[in-house]
């Protein structure tokens, strides 16, 4: 019997642990419950069970690790008002029995968890505990002379779940408890009894109620976590990338605004905020421009989003071509500005070809030298302008 119980416990624990993936609401603070119960208890043998039964009370605190496996601490108090329970010679005996239970929801274990408890469930309880009684019998060799013992309890809970969110449980619990290790005999010689002996056991039948606290999902029970489909995952990734692009665009604009404000303060000693305005040339660009730092043809990270926008449109419209015109602000000599403007246009093309795999034949570029005519703020003339044209 012990082997069967051990095998069943190991299978239940391993199954419940493997099933934990996929359930929401299993933090350490989740899925706790408290319960109270009361009923009747009687020695299993050598007594009239119904006639010589005694009242017992108990409370229980537990936690479900998964919908299949849980643990509970149970404290049982038995008040003897008749002879023949733990002590055949003494009345009004009280025993105190704390027990650690492993609980298995057999309904969920074999029927699966559907996202909410069923109305009716069966739960098994296996536990090891300790019993202390106030027995003072000296000569009786029956169960009554055991005053301290290790106990093994086996019980079944027939559960009815109710409440708006199934937060309440009423249960009927038949139970048998064995004294598997403890001194027996009234001579106090310390002789031991070990094993599952009905002569050293008692039966009880209890009726109780449990309350399950809310967990981190704002529910009183586990929730099912269903994996995303490939389509949902792709849609989510696309949304994330779009939000990242918008963030990069905002950061880029903020960087441009900060540069503009700083240059204005340095040049004109103006401290009031300046609203950025764009004045386009006679040929209006129809894509965002790519701005550069002074003396550089390297595209700043904040400007890469504008290149990505151009690449996306070219991929979606294979009938279109792109014309890139590079410019430099008026600082420096003419030859240097001509070379710099050429490099700025070419830098945009290289990113489109090498990173986004746009055919080189679809991209035209040229350096237009220095200018201060594109924008009234001369720093903005360090730019590559992008124009969509039809093939």
> Per residue, what are the HEC states of 235-295?
HHHHHHHHHHHHHHHHHHHHHHHHHHHHHHHHHHCCCCCCCCCCCCCCCCCCCCCEECCCC
Interval 253-277 mean pLDDT:
59
Checking DSSP bridges between strand 320-328 and strand 363-370, what pairing results, if any?
Answer: parallel
What does the alpha-carbon distance between residue 205 and residue 217 come to, in Å, rounded to a whole number?
A: 35
Predicted local confidence at residue 336, as pLDDT? 87
State yes or no: pLDDT of 208 exceeds 50. Answer: yes
Report residue 334's pLDDT band, with 50, 70 and 90 as the boundaries.
Answer: confident
Interval 33-47 mean pLDDT:
86
Report residue 44's pLDDT band, with 50, 70 and 90 as the boundaries.
Answer: confident
Residues 6+ apart with CB under 8 A from 308: 245, 356
Q: Which has more confidence, 115 or 363? A: 363
The predicted-structure confidence for 226-242, as pLDDT tens digits, reads as follows 666 667 667 777 777 77
The predicted-structure confidence for 97-148, as pLDDT tens digits, reads as follows 899 999 999 999 898 888 889 999 999 999 999 888 765 544 343 444 566 7
Residue 151 to residues 60, 202, 276, Cα–Cα distance (Å): 17, 11, 82
Residue 149 to residues 76, 144, 270, 275, 361, Cα–Cα distance (Å): 14, 12, 89, 85, 90
Among the residue ranges 80-84, 93-97, 354-358, the one predicted with the least confidence is 80-84
How far, rounded to the nearest angstrom, does the alpha carbon of residue 46 sit from its chain's CA centroid? 54
Report residue 187's pLDDT band, with 50, 70 and 90 as the boundaries.
Answer: very low
Closest to 312 in 3D by CA, of 289, 287, 291: 287
Predicted local confidence at residue 9, as pLDDT? 52
Reduced to 3 DSSP states, what percent helix, strand and coil does the chain have, rounded to the nearest 5?
A: 30, 35, 35
Predicted local confidence at residue 356, as pLDDT? 92
CB atoms within 10 A of CB 82: 15
CB atoms within 10 A of CB 93: 21
Closest to 75 in 3D by CA, of 136, 34, 32: 34
What does the alpha-carbon distance between residue 158 and residue 313 come to, in Å, rounded to a whole number?
A: 65
State yes or no: pLDDT of 245 exceeds 80. Answer: no
What does the alpha-carbon distance between residue 73 and residue 245 come to, in Å, rounded to a whole number?
A: 54
Predicted local confidence at residue 50, as pLDDT? 65
User: What pTM does this model have?
Assistant: 0.52
Q: What letter does residue 220 receive in the DSSP assignment?
A: S
State yes or no: pLDDT of 364 exceeds 60. Answer: yes
Predicted local confidence at residue 344, as pLDDT? 93
Q: Which has more confidence, 390 or 289? A: 289
Predicted local confidence at residue 184, as pLDDT? 53
Predicted local confidence at residue 391, as pLDDT? 66
Among the residue ranges 65-74, 149-158, 376-385, the one predicted with the least confidence is 376-385
Mean pLDDT of the chain: 78
Predicted local confidence at residue 82, as pLDDT? 47
Predicted local confidence at residue 246, as pLDDT? 73
Any idea which residue has 């008026």 for tokens?
Answer: 330
State yes or no: pLDDT of 320 exceeds 60. Answer: yes
3-class SS at 167?
coil
State yes or no: pLDDT of 361 exceeds 80. Answer: yes
Interval 240-252 mean pLDDT:
72
What tokens does 38 get? Answer: 């009361």
Predicted local confidence at residue 140, as pLDDT? 41
Interval 260-289 mean pLDDT:
55
Report residue 21's pLDDT band, with 50, 70 and 90 as the boundaries.
Answer: very low
- The count of residues in the chain is 391
Predicted local confidence at residue 5, as pLDDT? 53
């Amino acid at each position: 019997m012990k082997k069967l119980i051990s095998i069943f416990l190991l299978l239940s624990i391993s199954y419940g642990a493997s099933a934990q993936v996929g359930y929401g609401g299993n933090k350490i603070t989740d899925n706790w419950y408290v319960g109270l119960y009361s009923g009747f208890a009687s020695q299993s043998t050598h007594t009239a069970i119904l006639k010589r039964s005694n009242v017992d009370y108990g409370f229980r605190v537990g936690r479900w690790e998964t919908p299949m496996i849980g643990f509970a601490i149970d404290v049982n108090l038995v008040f003897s008002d008749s002879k023949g329970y733990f002590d055949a010679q003494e009345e009004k005996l009280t025993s105190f029995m704390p027990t650690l239970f492993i609980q298995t929801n057999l309904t969920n274990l074999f029927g699966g968890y559907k996202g909410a408890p069923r109305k009716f469930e069966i739960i098994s309880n296996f536990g090891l505990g300790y019993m202390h009684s106030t027995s003072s019998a000296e000569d009786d060799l029956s169960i009554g002379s055991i005053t301290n013992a290790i106990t093994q309890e086996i019980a079944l809970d027939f559960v009815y779940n109710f409440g708006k969110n199934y937060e309440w449980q009423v249960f009927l619990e038949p139970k048998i408890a064995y004294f598997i290790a403890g001194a027996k005999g009234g001579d106090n010689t310390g002789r031991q009894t070990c094993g599952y002996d009905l002569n050293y056991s008692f039966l009880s039948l209890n009726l109780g109620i449990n309350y399950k606290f809310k967990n981190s999902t704002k529910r009183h029970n586990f929730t099912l976590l269903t994996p995303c489909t490939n389509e949902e995952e792709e849609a989510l990734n696309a949304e994330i990338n779009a939000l990242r692009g918008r963030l990069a665009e905002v950061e880029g604009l903020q960087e441009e605004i900060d540069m503009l404000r700083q240059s204005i303060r340095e040049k004109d000693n103006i401290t009031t905020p300046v609203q950025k305005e764009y004045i386009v040339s006679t040929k209006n660009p129809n894509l965002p421009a790519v701005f550069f730092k002074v003396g550089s043809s390297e595209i700043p990270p904040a400007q890469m989003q504008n290149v990505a926008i151009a690449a996306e449109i070219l991929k979606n419209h294979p009938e279109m071509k792109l014309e890139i015109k590079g410019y430099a602000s008026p600082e420096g000599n003419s030859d240097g500005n001509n070379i710099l403007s050429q490099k700025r246009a070419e830098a945009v093309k290289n990113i489109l070809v090498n990173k986004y795999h746009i055919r080189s034949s679809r991209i035209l570029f040229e350096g237009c030298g220095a200018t201060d005519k594109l924008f009234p703020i001369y720093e903005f003339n360090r730019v590559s302008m992008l124009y969509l044209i039809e093939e």
